[in-house]
Structure 1
Amino acid sequence: MLVTAAVVGAVLALTLSGTVSGVGWTLAALAVAVAMPVVGWRPQRAVGALLPRRVAVAESGWIPVAVALAVVPSVRDAPWLALLCLAAAVAAGSLGVVGRSSRSVVGGMLAVPFAMVRGAAWAARGLGGLRGVAGLPRLGMSLLAGVALLVVFAPLLAGADPAFGALLDALVPRFDGSYAVARIVYFALGAAVVLAAAVLVAARTVPPLGPARPSPLRGVEWALPIGLLVALFAAYVVTTLSTLFGSDEHIRTTTGLTYAEYARGGFWQLLAVSALTMAVVVAGLRWTPLRTPGDRLRVRLLLGGLVALTLVVVGSALYRMWLYQQAYGLTSLRLVVAATEVWLAAGFVIMLVSVLRLRPDRPTRGVVAAGMLTLLVLAVLNPDRLVASQNVERWRETGKIDVSTLGELSADAAPVLATLPEPIRSCALTGLPPSLDRAAADGWRAANLSRASAADLLGGSRPRCPDGLYRGPALLTGED
């Protein structure tokens, strides 16, 4: 276990860089994924012994999802997308490790990060027990002798051949100042992740699924609060139906709001309402009495109606965002907002299926899986390139383009931006060379497919926006 933790820590120290997107993050994720079977993770046995085989397969499926999310930083340059995918990869990996031993999906997503301290203490106790192991001191001395030989011979061989010297410089970390500190931190992070996963696997117990406990609530005690909430949602939808799906003129005359205010207004409230509604549905499925056919019908009508009404509200938000981008064009933020709303819609569909089937078996796991699938679909669509394509198409139709917004896009958008005529092309590509230079400073660890393509397109040139050319939404053509 300790050797595996040390190896993974060394891989992270060797591969990770300060750039959030790069092949190093993918290699690090693969190293952690490969380490899981080594530390004894056997979902088919550990979980399948107490749960049906299909459940064991479903739980072990989180690890491939985590690896797929960790591949995104190798092919997409958008920092926000890479960061979201890496965070989701950590959550998926944690869910795969703890399996069904965590009754809370949120607890499962955070189990491995929170177990790092526990894993370190566990490893320390294990190290204390190794002092009396025969041959261990001699093995340690042998390892030190091998390192000493490498320190002596590696510089000599590097000096004998420039190609080998360049390879050695790229692979061996530099031990100078903050760079060395970062390597040590990455090593500790990799080792801590493996030890945290190992201690969770060692302590994992899955209680057998007994018969569901009957709800202590009577039908009317459960139905009264849910019914009031359904009535509130119905009143909101009926009252605002014309505004939710209103036209441009209707929006302005009825609400006095601009497109931007109308589309953005209430989004965070909508997000809060959606999260709270999901919590209400999960609690309702868990605590609802199902003693009689009337109880089951009441659950389907009330909770199903609540979910259906929430879907109408989510659909209206998607429509608002569509109106917004039709009027002002697409940006990365607007695309993320739209993707979030699509995820919410998919989550409520999963909730609705659970309600209709009367299956209170944690539909939140399906919602989390839908969120990770949304991220993967977003990565396949290539958000920044999609934003660039939509804005370039609008420019061809209207002659208007916001060069400032395009200039903030990542290298993912470079192939589309390169098709623009001068000087718009140079203005849109101005921000790429500094970004490419920062990534190049990290060497092969920050290698990325989109950045490599953008570097080939630029060919070493440094685009500059001509002085006096307005970089904003009023830019009409290159001649203006």
Structure 2
Amino acid sequence: MVTPQPGLPFLPWWKPPTTGASNKALAAGLIAGLGGAFLAVPNNGIGWFLAGLCGVGGVLLYAGRPTVERALWLAGALAFLAMGFLRAAEWIFPLSIMASMLCGSIAMAGGKTVRGLVFGAVGVALGGLRSIPWVAKGLSKRGPIGIRPFVSVGVALVLLLVFGSLLAGADKGFNDFLEGLVPDLDVGVYVRMGFFGVVAAAGALGACYLVAAPPDIKEDAEARPGTLRLKDYGLPVGVLVVLFTGFVGTQLAVLFGGEAYVMKTAGVTFAEYARSGFWQLLWVAILTLGVIAGVAHFAVKKTAREQLWLRVLLGSLAVLTLVIVASALSRMWFYQQAYGWTVLRLLVSSCEIWLAVVYLMVIAGGITLRANWLPKAIVGTGAAFLLAVMTMNPERVVADYNVSRFEATKKIDTWYLSQLSEDAVPALVRLPAAERSCALYRLKDRNVEEDWRDWNLARHNAKASLEGVAVTAATCESSYSGER
């Protein structure tokens, strides 16, 4: 029986620093905390980007000049935060916040293998929790002299609150004067500021903790040899290869036979045929990726024969899945030709394109059977694709396409377009008066900005586009026909 040593940390391969937090680390936490408390707001606006700049600046003040890889991940984190004031779509904002946190954590925690990247995704959060004794140790070394200024400030605030309240109650003029100086904030606003400030400070201190005590995950250690032999995985993978080959064969017949072949064999229109299978094909591509990863990791690869069979079976499966991804994309293309683009269709199509890139990387890694770079490449390309989609301004693209389609076919779903955000306004003002009123009535007098921290470029441009454009109340009936 092995008895754990006293004081052994929860993660034994992550040793705590031997010294307390330095002045630079404490300053980084203070800068990030103040930025989060006073700049982050409930709405998507420029305040979030400025708060992110404070956090990144504070961390770099402690960590010093970053490496190229760390600088790229941090730049990605700030780029996602910038979407908070470049785009007005409400669904983009939470995605950009989560993606920014992921990029920032990987920037400081690193990670190459699956294990390392899992830790990298939560490294800053764990570092924030583990930094509490580190920060306390750093503060305790400063002695009573370092605490006295904080005590003095606290006493001054208490005296100001007590005597200020009494004097304000004694004279209405003085009360009005104090109300003009103090902003009108309710308890909820203070709670929100405190929450954002604590989270930002903990994130910055967690990042500094990772610099002071980098974890020793041993990602470069040689992996254990697999135990899955060819007789174990050959039949299951072979069955999938045969099944996928049959499916790909029918897809080639559909692509060459066109709509007439589909209506003859399936009894439905080409658009209905495309809609019926897209989501199933998307799941096939995702689940097959898990099958390939599992077999590649656990398979025995000692002899040249075993390596050859692994390349043939998994390579065939990857190539066939790549054709299935192309089939799913073609289905979406035919479907949007019949019914137009929506944001969801654009997003899942982008996801399919990313999956195609992932399968190309899997095929490249399977040639040498050495793909230590693959997990980080998948995460990096995923973040890059998401950022590219946000930069593309999906709601504006969807609105532009549907307006152009209306000009050609006179079919448009104004109810759906009315649910879009200010991102789509510059395209929707091109519509005729009746359709324009139906699509823009919800955004005509909408205003969610309370102060400069809520400023958003897309909302600013939308307001400028709506000036001088007539948007009146109208009875809206969509001229679009057809089941979607």
* TM-score of the two chains, using structure 1 as the length reference: 0.81
When structure 1 is superposed on structure 2, of 287-296 and 276-285 the one drifting more is 287-296
Change in 2 beyond 3 A, CA 1:400/1:271? closer
1:2: which partner in 2? 26
Matched, 1:424 2:447: no
Residue type matched to 2:319 in 1? Answer: A
Give yes or no for the alignment of 1:414 onto 2:437: no
Partner of 2:58: 35
What per-residue deviation string (whole Å, max 9, x for no partner) do you get for residues 129-178 of structure 1? 634623212332465589899999xxxxxxxxxxxx9xx99xx9753132
In structure 1, the residue matched to 2:409 is: 398
Which deviates more from structure 2 when the two are superposed, residues 341-350 or residues 78-87?
78-87
* Residue 241 (structure 2) pairs with residue 230 (structure 1): yes
Residue matched to 2:377:
366
**Residue 39 of structure 2 is aligned with which of 8, 15, 22?**
15
SS in 2 for 1:247: helix
Inter-partner Cα distance in structure 1 for 2:121 and 2:476? 49
Corresponding residue SS for 2:63: coil
Indicate conservation of the 8 Å contact 1:67/1:89, yes or no.
yes
Unmatched runs of 5 consecutive residues or more in structure 1: 45-56, 153-164, 476-480
Structure 2's unaligned 5+ residue stretches are: 1-24, 164-177
Q: Matched residue of 1:433: which SS? A: coil
Equivalent AA in structure 2 for residue 445 of structure 1: R
- Pick the aligned partner of 1:73 from 78, 81, 84: 84
Q: How does 1:227-306 map to 2 (within 5 A)?
A: 227-243=238-254, 247-258=258-269, 261-306=272-317
Tell me by how many angstroms 1:255 deviates.
2.6
Distance 1:127 1:294 in 2: 59
Q: CA 1:103 to 1:372, structure 2 compared with 1: closer, same or farther past 3 Å?
A: closer
Aligned pair partner of 2:393 in 345, 367, 382: 382
- 2:151 matches 1:127: no
- Alpha-carbon offset, residue 390 of structure 1: 0.8
After TM superposition, give the deviation of residue 292 of structure 1 in Å: 3.3
How far apart, CA to CA, are the structure 1 residues paired with 2:107 and 2:40? 23
Tell me how large the CA RMSD over aligned residues is: 3.4
Count of residues in Structure 1 that have an aligned counterpart in Structure 2: 442
Paired letter, 1:190: A
Q: In structure 2, do the counterparts of structure 1 residues 228 and 87 end up closer, same or farther at CA, with 3 Å as the change threshold?
A: same
Structure 2 distance, partners of 1:150, 1:257, is 77
Indicate the residue corresponding to 1:158 in structure 2.
none
Query: How many percent of aligned residue pairs carry the same amino acid?
Result: 34
Question: Residues 52-67 of structure 1: matches in 2 within 5 Å?
Answer: 57-58=68-69, 61-67=72-78
The answer on 1:470 being equivalent to 2:477 is: yes
Aligned partner (choices 438, 459, 465) of residue 457 of structure 1: 465
Larger mean CA deviation between 172-181 and 342-351 belongs to: 172-181
For the 8 Å contact 1:105–1:365, the answer to whether it is kept is: no
**Secondary structure in 2 aligned to 1:359?**
coil
Q: CA deviation at 1:314?
A: 0.7
1:199 is displaced (CA, Å) by: 3.6
Asked if 1:317 is matched to 2:317, the reply is no
Change (3 A) 1:92 1:325: same
CA distance in structure 2 between the partners assigned to 1:380 and 1:338 by the alignment? 16
The question of whether the paired residues in 2 share the 8 Å contact of 1:94 and 1:108 is answered with no
Q: Using the alignment, how far apart are the partners of 1:259 and 1:182 within structure 2?
A: 52
SS of residue paired to 2:53 = helix
How far does the alpha carbon of each residue in 1:420-451 deviate from its partner, in whole angstroms, 9 at most, with x for none? 221222222112135x41x223x222211111
The two structures have a TM-score, normalised by structure 2, of: 0.80
Residue equivalent to 1:156: none
Match of 1:24 among 47, 61, 71: 47
Q: Partner of 1:342: helix, strand, or coil? A: helix
- Aligned twin of 1:181: 191
Deviation string 1:18-56 (CA, Å, 9 cap, x unpaired) is 11x321222222222223323437765xxxxxxxxxxxx
How far did 1:219 drift? Answer: 4.0
Contact 1:11 1:28 in 2 (8 A): yes
**What is the CA distance between 1:355 and its match in structure 2?**
0.9
CA distance in 1, matches of 2:331, 2:309: 33
Structure 1 pair 42/358, CA: closer, same or farther in 2 (3 Å)?
Answer: farther
Q: Distance in 1 between matches of 2:65 and 2:290?
A: 32
* 1:308 aligned residue: 319
Separation in structure 2 between the aligned mates of residue 364 and residue 273 of structure 1, nearest angstrom: 20
Distance 2:384 2:424 in 1: 23
Paired amino acid for 1:465: A
Q: Mark the CA change 1:39 to 1:253 in structure 2 (over 3 Å): closer, same or farther.
A: farther
Alignment of 1:106-255 (within 5 A): 107-108=118-119, 110-112=121-123, 114-115=125-126, 119-120=128-129, 122-124=131-133, 126-127=135-136, 130-131=139-140, 133-134=142-143, 135-141=145-151, 174-201=184-211, 202-207=213-218, 209-243=220-254, 247-255=258-266
Structure label with greater radius of gyration:
2
User: Counterpart in 1 of 2:95?
Assistant: 84
